[in-house]
Chain A
C-alpha cells in the first residue's frame, strides 16, 4: 500500500521536474530581448489602457517612451504629473509639469432653454443621430443627449443628468484622457485646464448660428454679441463665427463676463461664492465711467495743448 504512495509521489515529482526543465529551455530559446525599463515604466503607469496618451495602451506608451529621446511628446494625462515624474526618474529624462485638465461640456441647452421640436426614434447613439440630422432641438450644434460620451468614458466620470438632458462631468473622476472628446460627434466637449482649486470659466455653447437664430433655438445660447469680449480687461475672450471663446491661459477668473452675458452662456465653476451680478456690474460701470472720464480728461488736455 505504502509503495503506491511512494511511487506516485516519485513519478509526479520527476514528471514535474522534467516538464519544468522543458519549459525553462523553451523559454530560454524563445526569449525576446527587451529593454527592462519598458517593464518598469509600464509598472509606473496607471494601467487604464485608455489610449488617452495617443498610444494603444500603457505598454505601448512605455515602449514609445523608452525609445523616445525625450518625454515632450509622451504624456500620460491619466496619471498626470506624479506618474510622469516617476517615468522620468526611471528613464532619466526631464519632464515638464503640465496643468491638470478636465473635460468640459460646452452646451447648456437644457430641456427648458432648448425645447425639443421633434422626437428622435432611432438607435440611441449620438453618432447615429448626427448622421441622420441635426437633432431633435432647434439648435444644430448642441448636445444630442444620447450619451456617447458617457459610454466612451471608462472612468465613470460622465453621466447624463435626467433633468437637463446634458452630460455631467465628475471632475474628481475625470482623468482628461480625451475619450469623450473623440466620441462626441458635435465636438462639444473640450479639455480645459482645471484651474486653481478647480475654478475656471468657459463659454458653455458652440452654436455658430447668428444671434437671433441661435437665440430662437436655445434661450441660453451664445449669440456672439461680443459684450463679454468688450468687458474683459485681460483680452482673454475672442468672438469668432458668432461664438465667444475664453482662452484659459489669459483668463484671470474675474467673472465679469459671466455677469454681463445676456443669455447666461458663460459659466464659472467651483467658485467659493455665488456670482453677485449686481456688484460686478456696478464695479464695471464705475470702472467704465472712470475710464470715460479719464479719456475725456485726456482729450481736453490734448485740446488744451
Chain B
C-alpha cells in the first residue's frame, strides 16, 4: 500500500505511544466540575442557568454568544453553585459555571445505551442542526465549532470529507483507542458528515503506526457498507494532523494563505469529533465527556480516561496517584503543540485531549547559542517558511518584513524549534511576529471596510 504524506517539511519525533494498550475507561465523576464558557474558538457562550438551579447531564447551561459559538451542556447532574471568573490552565480568568455533583441523572431523550444506530437521516440540514445542538466543536485541538465548518459559505463546495485519525503528536493515544473501541460509531459519524456535506466521498486518514486501527476501520467500513468511504494509510510524519498538511497529503491541494480548507473543497474533522457527531445526531447526546490520554515515561500509571468536561486537572492526577516526583512539566495536549499547565486547579474543556508528564531531561530547554545557519528549521517548516529569518525580523520588531515573509502563515507546529541544533527559541519569537502581522491585517481589513462604507454614503 502506498503511503501518503504532505509535501513540505515536517519532522519525525519518536512517537512514544506508551499508553496505546490502555483501554478507555471512565473516570469517576469529580465532586465539583467547572465548565468554562470559553472552551471553543469564537464568542464565549452566555450562561442560561442561575446560581441554585438544578441541572441534569446534557442540559444546556450556556448558549452560543454569536454565529461562531457553541452550546455548552452540563456534564454532570447537580446544583449550579456559582457563575464566576476562574483561572484556566494558563492562569487567565474566564467565566466558569461551577456545578456541585449530585448523582448522575441524564436528561430525558438522551440515548445512553450502546446500540449502534446506522441509519443516516435524509436531511443534511437536520444533521447540521443536531450537531449544533450537541455543542460539537473540533476536538482535534482547535475547538472550532463544527456546525460552522459544515455550513460552507455560498459559492464554495465541499468535494471530500477527511476524517483525521493521524494523531501525529507523540504520546497521544486517545484517537487510536477511539478508533479501536468505537470504530463503528466513528464510521457512522463519518457517514453522517458525508451526508451533511451532500454525499461527497470520505477519507479516513490514519498513520501507519496504528495498524490495528487501520485493519479495524477497514473491516467496519466493509461491514457497514457505506459508499465512497475509504481508509488512507499515511506515512508517519509530524504535523500530518494539521488541517492544511492533511489536505495536501490526501487531496494534493494546498490551501492558500489565510484561506479556509473549503476553498479547495475539503472539510476535515477529527476522529473524536466524528464520534461526537455520531453521539449528537444518533443518540441526542451532546458533548459531556471526552477521552483524555494521561501518559509520560515518568508517570507510573498510563491511562486513556473518559473524562467529564469541566473536571479539575488536579482531580484526574490525584485519581491516578498524583504528580510523580521527577515530573518537571505537565502539558495539556501533545508535546509539540500542547500547552504547559501553570494552574492545576484549571478544569478540562471539550478540547482537552491529553495530560502529559515530562521530566526535566525531556523538556528543559537548553541554552540558546549562535545560529549556525544550517537551515534545518527551514527544512522542517511544513509551511515552507524561513523560521531563522522570521525570528530575526520579529526580534527587530520589523512587522512589515514579517508579513512579507509570511509570518502569518505559521501554524505554530513547533517543527522549527524542535529541530534547531542551536536551541534558538524560534517559535516563541515567530508567534509574536505572527500576532502583530495578523492584527495589522485585521486593522487593514477593518479600515478598508470602513472606507467602503463611507464611500457608499
Contact = CB atoms under 8 A, between A and B. Distances in A.
Say whether chain A's binding surface is mostly helix, strand, loop, or mixed. Answer: loop
Contact of A123 (B87, B340, B425): B425
A134 interface: yes
B92 A123 contact: no
A128 B364 contact: no
A135 interface: yes
B364 A132 contact: no
Interface stretch (B2-10, B30-38, B293-301, B426-434): B426-434
A122 B340 CA distance: 11
A34 interface: no
Contact of A135 (B91, B329, B425, B429): B91
> Size band of the B side of the interface?
10 to 19
A125 B425 CA distance: 11
Contacts of A134: 87, 90-92, 342
B322 interface: no
B90 A132 contact: yes
Given A118-B342, A131-B435, A125 B428 contact: yes
Given A118-B342, A121-B364, A133 B425 contact: no
Contacts of B432: 125, 127-128, 131
Interface in B421-457: 425, 428-429, 431-432, 435
A128 B92 contact: no
Contacts, number: 42
A127 B425 CA distance: 14
B126 interface: no
B116 interface: no
Interface in B389-443: 425, 428-429, 431-432, 435
Contacts of B365: 121-122
Contact of B92 (A117, A122, A133, A136): A133
B222 interface: no
Contact of B431 (A128, A135, A136): A128
A229 interface: no
Contacts of A135: 91
15 contacts: A118-B342, A121-B329, A121-B363, A121-B364, A122-B428, A123-B425, A125-B429, A128-B429, A131-B435, A133-B340, A133-B342, A134-B90, A134-B342, A136-B342, A140-B92
- The 4 tightest CB contacts between A and B, nearest first, are A134-B91, A133-B90, A123-B428, A123-B425
Interface of B: 87, 90-93, 329, 340, 342, 363-365, 425, 428-429, 431-432, 435
